[in-house]
Amino acid sequence: MNARKQEAKSSKVENPFFSDVYDVVRQVPKGRATSYVAIAAYLGNKRGARMVGWAMSRTYGRPDVPAHRVVNKEGELTARDLFETPTTMQERLESEGLEIMNNKIQNWEERFWDPEKELH
């Protein structure tokens, strides 16, 4: 089967990018959020913010990875359209104690969680 072949091929090579992104996002504390560029920088690819987002799209449907805690550099919920409902992401963040207004996290400077500083 083609699918079997592809699966074997994929499982053979797992990009460390995925594992790292998942690991970092999983370690994001409740009530905090991080940005794509921060994760990308932590992984060494400062220009790989898009790659982080791309990887995150694969995290969709993974309860292990709180993708809703990952926002853009301005703390804006850019991916809310990709969630189950346009308000799912915001509701989740709000339920975690974050304050969101106009799709943007309030006190973003305080809520920002930098893996480079926290995890080092």
Partner DNA sequence: GCAGTGACTTTCG
Partner DNA sequence: ACGAAAGCCACTG
Q: Applying CB under 7 A, which residues contact DNA?
A: 15, 17, 35-37, 45, 47-54, 56-57, 59-60, 67-68, 70, 72-74, 78-79, 82
- Find the shortest distance in angstroms from Cβ 78 to DNA: 4
Closest to DNA by CB, 83 or 99: 83
- Find the shortest distance in angstroms from Cβ 99 to DNA: 18
Closest to DNA by CB, 36 or 42: 36
Q: Chain centroid to CA 68: how far? A: 7
Q: Is 120 helix (H, G, I), strand (E, B) or coil?
A: coil
- Find the shortest distance in angstroms from Cβ 120 to DNA: 20
- Find the shortest distance in angstroms from Cβ 3 to DNA: 12
- As a whole number of angstroms, the distance between CA 58 and CA 81 comes to 15
Q: Is 91 helix (H, G, I), strand (E, B) or coil?
A: helix
Closest to DNA by CB, 24 or 35: 35
Q: How does DSSP classify residue 80?
A: G
Distances (CA, A) of 4 to 15, 31, 58, 65: 19, 41, 20, 26
Closest to DNA by CB, 70 or 100: 70
Distances (CA, A) of 44 to 38, 49, 73: 10, 11, 17
